[in-house]
Structure 1
Amino acid sequence: MKTTIEQLEDCTLVTLEGELNTAASAEVNTILAPLIENGSGRIVIECKDLTYIASSGLRILLSILKSTKSNGGTLKLRNVNDNVKKIFALTGFVKIFDFE
């Protein structure tokens, strides 16, 4: 699992590549902890190369979403493939997140 964070002019771009499974979740959570703590502004999570997400990964994204919304920011998931989007649909998270 590879996770990168870039601060762009108009947003914070998070790129997720690989499988966000239970084993990778602890490392990803550590990398994304500042977003969970601060959660402000506009956050875009690029999922083009995200091939799988486990429930632990969904919890991380939900934590970022809650923090961002409580601070008046926004979170968008970009380029989510059909297999990963099915997981969001099965869990009901497809209704909670904004996709672009």
Structure 2
Amino acid sequence: MAVIVQQVQDCHFITAIGCFNGDDCRQLRQVIADAKDQHIRHVLVDCERITSVTTEALRIVLSQTTHAEATGINLLFYHVNTKTQEIIDKTGLDSVLHIVLSLKEAYQYCKQHT
């Protein structure tokens, strides 16, 4: 899978493409660590082009969500496709992850939580 990271002002934008697996989550972990070091408050993950998610990835995402919150970083997922949303719902992670429909909503969330 491809993971593309861009920084714009006080946000890291991650675009995930293909199967989201443990290796990709290790990249997410690094992005969160970098955000903390650079005093960046928001990490936004575009999930529109994720085709599948592994169980290992879901465990790591849960862990990283908790870690991000503890360090004062907003970790948001947006453009989550129907297939990925069903997996998140089945695992109960929908109650833990911050998921919004669009980049606009993610941006508004960040503005409210700055």
TM-score, scaled to structure 1: 0.84
Q: Is the 8 A contact 1:11 1:42 kept in 2?
A: yes
Runs of 4+ residues deviating >2 angstroms:
29-33, 35-40
TM-score, scaled to structure 2: 0.74
Structure 2 residue corresponding to 1:32, chosen from 24, 28, 33: 28
* Identity percentage of aligned residues: 23
User: How many correspondences in the alignment?
Assistant: 96
Aligned residue in 1 for 2:57? 57
Q: Which moved more, 1:59-68 or 1:27-36?
A: 27-36
Gaps in structure 2 of 5+ consecutive residues: 101-114
Larger Rg: 2
User: CA RMSD of the aligned region, Å?
Assistant: 1.7
1:10-29 to 2 correspondences below 5 Å:
10-20=10-20, 24-25=21-22, 27-29=23-25
Q: Is the 8 A contact 1:48 1:80 kept in 2?
A: yes
Gaps in structure 1 of 5+ consecutive residues: none
